[in-house]
Copies of this chain bind each other. A is one copy, B any other.
Amino acid sequence: MDEHARPGWFTRLVSRRTVLATGTAGLAVPAALALGPVAPRHSAAAQSGVVRKITLYAEALPGNEYGYGLAPGRATIPGPTLEMYEGDTLEITLVNNTDRRMSIHPHGVDYSVDSDGSPLNASFNNPGETRTYTWRSREVAATEGRRLMPGTAGYWHYHDHAMGTDHGSLGIARGLYGALVVRRRGDILPDEQFTVVFNEMTVNNRVAPHTPLFEANLGQRVEWIAIGHGNQFHTFHLHAHRWADNRTGMLEGLTDPSRVVDTKDLNPGGSFGFQVLAGDGVGPGAWMYHCHVQSHSETGMSGIFLVRNADGSMPPGAQEAIDRFRGHDHGATSPVGAHAPHQHPPTR
């Protein structure tokens, strides 16, 4: 399995190893996730208010990049996908193995000023320094009348906020970012999980044909987490699949007014997520995902979502499509480095 193309799985496997190492409860991803990929599952009725501890390592990567990882030598771009249920707390011990000041700043969750990750609040790691950041979450809360103050559930993200400048522009540009998912209890869990970061003019700091090749089998429930970074505006488009433009990507009922979309603005600092059933109603094949700004897709912001047959075999024409895509090498503009070994996963 290609770790880079499947950061979600990678995170879960490693985080369970982390669990054993630290003696804490690990990320709240039901073990069922590792057992079978076909049937949608509801999240277990986990206990509330669990505190989990993980250690993240910031490291330099080849090609002048940086990454976060759950173990030394395992940094990736994007970093591991972190997950919580509303009510949980995540204590992150960040080990800065780089020679620059850096930090971790989350979106969506609760944190005190000393876990802000910003130089404004003197919240960062100097080179070689270890520091703990605490992220909390919560459920919705009643307010006057029928209204509710929103809870923490969402498809969020985290990133450096201190490398190079007080805004983390250098750290973000070079790969210090990842996905953060906070679920409501009862939310449907996916079989596969992909993270797509439109960062400057790249996808996950790569350009076509070195962008991630995401894979799923026909009918699997696939969760996409889309994050924007950098200085450019973008629009994320996925061929042959659509989702409701709301919290889950699904409709809450027939009167849910949400617009259904297959293209959505994805700009710096923003994020969204949704679940689709791979190939549902359209069949297996090599489906494009890309930025729909024409010059961006032309210069490398595109990739392939490979929907295999239900039994995992290759559908007709898919290998030819992948070969065509790989012929589109943007050469010198393609950064290399940590991703290189994972660029061309052998098709099973």
A residues touching B (Cβ–Cβ < 8 Å)?
Answer: 40-42, 107-108, 110-113, 116, 118-122, 136, 138, 140, 143-154, 156, 165-169, 172-173, 186, 188, 228-231, 233, 235, 237, 239-240, 242-265, 267-272, 277, 280-283, 285-288, 290, 292-298, 302, 304, 317, 320-321, 324-325, 328
Contact = CB atoms under 8 A, between A and B. Distances in A.
Nearest to A172: B294
6 contacts: A42-B145, A169-B295, A251-B257, A253-B255, A269-B292, A269-B293
A88 to B, nearest CB: 14
Given A148-B254, A268-B294, A288-B120, A259 B246 contact: yes
Contacts of A111: 240, 282
A265 B166 CA distance: 22
Given A147-B248, A268-B294, A298-B165, A258 B257 contact: yes
A168 B149 CA distance: 38
Copies of this subunit: 3
Closest 6 A-B residue pairs measured CB to CB?
A: A269-B292, A113-B285, A246-B257, A148-B251, A147-B250, A263-B269
Contacts of A265: 265, 267, 270
A270 B165 CA distance: 30
Given A121-B285, A150-B243, A258-B257, A293 B321 contact: no
Residues of A contacting B: mostly: loop
B113 A298 contact: no
A190 to B, nearest CB: 12
Given A143-B188, A169-B298, A265-B265, A259 B237 contact: no
Contact of A247 (B250, B257, B324): B257
Nearest to A39: B144
B251 A147 contact: yes
A289 to B, nearest CB: 11
A112 B243 CA distance: 18
A270 B292 contact: yes
A107 B263 contact: yes
B269 A150 contact: no
B235 A122 contact: no
